[in-house]
Chains A and B, each alone.
Chain A
């Protein structure tokens, strides 16, 4: 029996693309962080979907589990940085943080 994994792959690709576009187009640091979460989730979908076809050891799900944990850590640190940025600039606009330009 065939498993139509393509639909999951397409879904993951689309979610990733949407996340990437959001990250690239939005200048709000909060929404950019959310876009990153979207991309991480897209990868999780891929991991879990492939694990459905190669279910030995549940490696994909374990990996997805770790990705979720890391994503949580990343969100915490990212939001802390956003707060710092806000404290410095009174805004969360990423364009305002351009001190490292030439």
Chain B
């Protein structure tokens, strides 16, 4: 097969489940159940097959180059963003691009493989559910989103998948949305994830602004350069790498249920059990670990962020494990177990053992999915929908042999019994921590290593203990809910569980056994090379994941027994032995909770109440928020609604009331209104309207009269009583003659005017006569007097037959740049004078010529209308140009003398 075919296959891996989701989602409810099943399972099976083919191709090429082989395909160009940089604008392309390398390839195999098994399991588990098609549509949509997340080659595409799985998780947790608690659990998950997604977005923005690309490869390549300080306002938040890593980790705490956002995951078990197995144990919740591994060079760049991740991860592991030991419901125990195991993974990532952390993702997918499915099988067997109290069960070993076998395999695996998958992956994590603890001088984070090692050791002990507590209580002893058993009836006297449980059908037990055997064997992919065994896993991962220098140094060492290795082995084996031993001693073939009796009462209650974290959040975060929301809501309802809805609605009501008065149902009222309208229309057509408008520029005026049907126009531009243009015949000049322009000569002037410029608005006109008349004081500026002690006589002006003369009367007058001291100032048309004291606002005066233009309009009815308009034009004097110039110069000279 050529490269191109693999690239096509890569796209179809994603498209197949997507099509399955679309078809089942749109048409599934009308289709036969068999068709729905075939579509749902078939699309995933085909996708798994393609993933296997692609991965096999990768394996054969592995080691061929330094980068390792990878399959990359750009599905299409999505969009560009412009990023302002120092040197201009940098275009960042965002393509829908997919990439399969060892990391994403293995993850794809897990997603499609475990997904396929769980799809098959769901055939039996969901058989009688009315939402059968909806379930498979959601599940397929989840797989498609998860594959986009895993295979996306850049952050935006990954984020699409990231949001997609969040949505599907929400939909599937609230699958039985008729129960309000389940719907609320979905909402809780969605909101907790949303807080995290905010962090992912911020991290994404930091990275793209620093690196200039969204591609993982580019970001990882540029990671060592991310050492500039990062400022949030004026507050320095470490380096860019630290900031980006911490914000991304915030997203991971949401998606992968770490402190402080882990609270949604236990509630998420409200969804159907296959969902818990697939989404909330095997795949989606590990997305955070996947993202961290994907961007491992960025995280490695920031020791601070790594320490934070390691501490938070190990604390999560311990806290969740401590809660799990005090729970009684199988799914609750498994939920907290999942949170705890995710903590292990992040602790591994935090100490730099990315490969080990991801190995644990891989093994965890098998044994935890198996455990959830087994729990589902038990619930199915005892006829319970939502819970399986281990104290009401017991003896299922004989009743459900296949489920028991799978459960035992997975329990041994998660507890870390040697040779099982969980042993190898957990041991790798402890080894990573131990190596950091013993790291020589340049690595100064030894305390982190010790902290992680000790905390994880305790957590591992607790893990082994709670798993076998559950195992012994549920599968050994006698079935306590049997007829006549101690738990046959609950307090209401009903049968809590089916008194005669039965083994689940084959479609449920075979997937269990497949996953159970997986829980045994998949660990052999990553045998510790200290034993001189081949560690294929580390070899594959070395192409995709950067490794911390400590680990590199250790891996470079000879195979053999080193101090860190011994330490980790001691911790791991002690944990398993102590944990399982304690569980055996306390619970084997017993039905009472001896652990609870042995513990201090208050402490145990606190653990059973999940350390009361939900209540803490309720009190510290939610209640103040709810109070704020109530307050804002009150403001909205009281003031905003009054302004925006109550008042307008009352106005609408009022206007409606007024308007309805017209609707009196009498024909003659409507007729009267109609006739008034008709009269108006008639008036509009019968009476002509010139609506003359004019504009002047210099000596030229342009006119515009209104257009109308059948209008004819004639013009008298100087209003001397003779028409300058004849009336056009009807029909010949439909509007053609309505906007002429005319250039005026001196003979057209009716009189001269002074134009006095106002502060704002139009110039005030002052019509001149032959006699001097004082300018109205209202038009003069404040402080126009030269000397306030002299009696105030406003300036006056007149037209002497040739020029306009302004008599100053002690007012302050200036031309541009100089004061005028003359008493009589001759003014030519177009000349400007300034009036008023120099330090105040001055008013400008100029001379214009007044003309009057008239238009007459005739319409088709033969009716005529006339309108005149007075215009001020700027007509140069009739003297020759040179003469006028000379005269003006003389005046200036006199003025400036």
Contacts and interface: CB of A to CB of B under 8 A. Distances in A.
Chain A–chain B contact at Cβ < 8 A = yes
Given A24-B672, A24-B675, A102 B663 contact: yes
B110 to A, nearest CB: 71
Given A20-B675, A24-B675, A101 B664 contact: yes
Contacts of B667: 27, 32, 94-95
B672 A100 contact: no
B679 to A, nearest CB: 11
Contact of A98 (B666, B671, B672, B678): B666
Nearest to B671: A24
Nearest to A25: B668
A102 B661 contact: yes
Nearest to A29: B667
A22 B664 CA distance: 20
Nearest to A97: B665
B228 interface: no
A81 to B, nearest CB: 13
A64 B663 CA distance: 35
A100 B666 CA distance: 9
Nearest to B663: A102
Contacts of A94: 666-667
A2 interface: no
A52 to B, nearest CB: 19
A101 B663 CA distance: 5
Interface in B632-688: 660-661, 663-668, 671-672, 675, 678
A94 B666 CA distance: 7
Contacts of A100: 663, 665
A80 to B, nearest CB: 18
A35 to B, nearest CB: 10
B672 A102 contact: no
A4 to B, nearest CB: 15
Contact of B664 (A27, A32, A102): A102
Nearest to A20: B675
A25 B660 CA distance: 23
B753 to A, nearest CB: 49
A35 B613 CA distance: 86
A73 to B, nearest CB: 21
Nearest to A99: B665
A93 to B, nearest CB: 10
Nearest to A24: B671
A24 B663 CA distance: 16
Query: How many interface residues does chain B have, given as a range?
Result: 10 to 19
B3 to A, nearest CB: 75
Contact of A27 (B660, B665, B668, B678): B668
A42 B230 CA distance: 87
Contacts of B678: 20
Contacts of B666: 94-95, 98, 101
A43 B665 CA distance: 28
Nearest to A26: B668
A10 to B, nearest CB: 13
B589 to A, nearest CB: 86
A98 B664 contact: yes
B671 A23 contact: yes
Contacts of B671: 23-24
B665 A101 contact: yes
Contacts of A20: 675, 678
Contacts of A25: 668
A98 B662 CA distance: 12
A19 B844 CA distance: 66
Residue from B661, B667, B675 with most neighbouring chain A CB atoms (10 Å)? B667
Contacts of A95: 666-667
B669 to A, nearest CB: 10
Contacts of B660: 102
A32 B661 CA distance: 24
Interface string A81-102: 0000000000000110111111
A25 B675 CA distance: 12
Contacts of A102: 660-661, 663-664
B673 to A, nearest CB: 10
Contacts of A24: 668, 671-672, 675
B81 to A, nearest CB: 58
A100 B667 CA distance: 11
Contacts of A98: 664-666
B545 to A, nearest CB: 78
Contacts of B663: 100-102
Contacts of A23: 671
Nearest to A101: B665
A74 to B, nearest CB: 16
A98 B661 CA distance: 13
Nearest to B672: A24
A23 B678 CA distance: 14
Nearest to A102: B660
A95 B667 CA distance: 7
A23 B672 CA distance: 10
A26 to B, nearest CB: 9
A97 B559 CA distance: 106
Nearest to B670: A24
Interface in B190-205: none
Contacts of B665: 97-101
B293 to A, nearest CB: 73
A97 B665 CA distance: 7
Interface string A15-43: 00000100111010000100000000000
Residue from A25, A27, A101 with most neighbouring chain B CB atoms (10 Å)? A101
B473 to A, nearest CB: 77
Interface string B766-810: 000000000000000000000000000000000000000000000
A23 B667 CA distance: 9
Contacts of B672: 24
A98 B675 CA distance: 20
A94 B678 CA distance: 22
A91 B184 CA distance: 66
Interface string B563-603: 00000000000000000000000000000000000000000
Interface in A43-99: 94-95, 97-99
A20 B667 CA distance: 13
Nearest to A21: B675
Nearest to B668: A24
A90 to B, nearest CB: 18
A59 B663 CA distance: 41
B671 to A, nearest CB: 4
A53 to B, nearest CB: 14
A32 B671 CA distance: 12
Nearest to B659: A102
A94 B671 CA distance: 12
Nearest to A23: B671
A99 B666 CA distance: 10
B776 to A, nearest CB: 55
A6 B663 CA distance: 39
Contacts of A32: 667
Contacts of B675: 20, 24
Residue from B663, B665, B666, B675 with most neighbouring chain A CB atoms (10 Å)? B665
A14 to B, nearest CB: 15
Contacts of B668: 24-25, 27
Interface of B: 660-661, 663-668, 671-672, 675, 678
**Which 9 A-B pairs give the minimum distances between C-beta atoms?**
A98-B665, A101-B665, A102-B660, A24-B671, A94-B667, A102-B663, A101-B664, A101-B663, A100-B665
Given A97-B665, A100-B663, 9 more contacts: A24-B671, A24-B672, A32-B667, A94-B667, A98-B666, A101-B663, A101-B665, A102-B661, A102-B663
Interface of A: 20, 23-25, 27, 32, 94-95, 97-102
22 contacts: A20-B675, A20-B678, A23-B671, A24-B668, A24-B671, A24-B672, A27-B667, A27-B668, A94-B666, A95-B666, A95-B667, A98-B664, A98-B666, A99-B665, A100-B665, A101-B663, A101-B664, A101-B665, A101-B666, A102-B660, A102-B661, A102-B663
